[in-house]
């Protein structure tokens, strides 16, 4: 194989595995509302969130309400709590350095019938999107990417509409930053590939 081909292939491999995702924020709600299997209506003592309007419920998997959380275990959040006023769930303030980020979360329909439900996702000026799910919509993972140009601090916000006490279910929220290898690392890797190419070339003589 020619040296140029070797370098090209190696660099492609480095970029494919070198862009590592560093977790900035992660929550599956399993530690909320006391012991495993415990559900709490109108819950507002989250470790990583606040309910800035309305109410939300923390729901344990298969708790008798006919609700299954993502993955069939743990706990999840009903974004339309039990106060007749759907909730605004806001994460703690997150420090975001310049770079590219991936936000992912699991959502399902309310799993209890009635009409479709809607909520709006927001994260500073980087993300703003509305979601509407039928009651029978299965669990699905939503992933969104965005780029921060300069250091800032923002929160993830799930703002549910309506107020019939049954809403879209939320689980497994995760925010990660894409980490690209430092230029020095790439240079060393390139030099190593060149050396390998010359070694192979000399071995053929």
Give residue limits of the domains in the chain.
1-19+181-205, 23-179
Q: Supply 61's token pair.
A: 């998997």
Looking at residues 91-114, what average pLDDT do you find? 98
pLDDT score of 92: 98
Confidence check: pLDDT of 7 > 80: no
Looking at residues 44-68, what average pLDDT do you find? 95
Which residues are CB-contacts of 77 (< 8 A; sequence separation ≥ 6)?
Answer: 29, 56, 57, 58, 59, 89, 169, 170, 171
Burial bucket for residue 114 (CB in 10 Å: 0-12, 13-18, 19+): middle
pLDDT score of 64: 83
Confidence check: pLDDT of 63 > 90: no
Looking at residues 187-195, what average pLDDT do you find? 42
Q: Supply 7's token pair.
A: 């370098």
Which of 145, 197, 195, 193 is CA-nearest to residue 14?
193
Please, which pLDDT band fits residue 181 given cuts at 50, 70 and 90? low
pLDDT score of 183: 55
Q: How far apart are CA 138 and CA 68, in angstroms?
A: 10
pLDDT mean across residues, the chain:
85
- Phi first, then psi: give them for residue 9, nearest 5 degrees: -65, -40
Confidence check: pLDDT of 43 > 50: yes
Please, which pLDDT band fits residue 73 given cuts at 50, 70 and 90? very high
Confidence check: pLDDT of 17 > 50: no
23-179 fold:
Jelly Rolls (2.60.120)
pLDDT score of 14: 37
Confidence check: pLDDT of 104 > 70: yes
Looking at residues 100-106, what average pLDDT do you find? 98
Question: What number of other Cβ atoms are within 10 A of residue 77's Cβ?
Answer: 28
Looking at residues 74-81, what average pLDDT do you find? 98
């Amino acid at each position: 194989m020619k040296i140029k081909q070797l370098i090209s292939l190696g660099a492609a491999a480095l970029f494919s595995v070198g862009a590592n995702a560093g977790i900035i924020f992660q929550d599956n709600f399993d530690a909320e509302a006391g012991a495993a299997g415990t559900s709490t209506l109108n819950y507002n003592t989250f470790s990583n969130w606040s309910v800035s309007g309305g109410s939300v419920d923390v729901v344990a998997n298969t708790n008798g309400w006919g609700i299954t959380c993502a993955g069939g275990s743990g706990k999840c959040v009903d974004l339309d709590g039990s106060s007749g006023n759907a909730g605004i769930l806001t994460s703690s303030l997150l420090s975001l350095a310049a770079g590219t980020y991936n936000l992912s979360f699991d959502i399902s329909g309310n799993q209890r019938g009635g009409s479709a439900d809607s909520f709006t996702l927001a994260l500073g000026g980087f993300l703003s999107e509305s979601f509407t799910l039928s009651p029978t919509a299965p669990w699905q993972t939503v992933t969104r990417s965005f780029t921060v140009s300069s250091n800032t601090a923002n929160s993830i916000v799930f703002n549910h509409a309506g107020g019939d006490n049954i809403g879209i279910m939320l689980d497994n929220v995760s925010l990660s930053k894409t980490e690209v290898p430092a230029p020095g690392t790439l240079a060393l890797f390139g030099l190593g590939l060149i050396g390998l190419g010359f070694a192979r070339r000399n071995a053929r003589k």
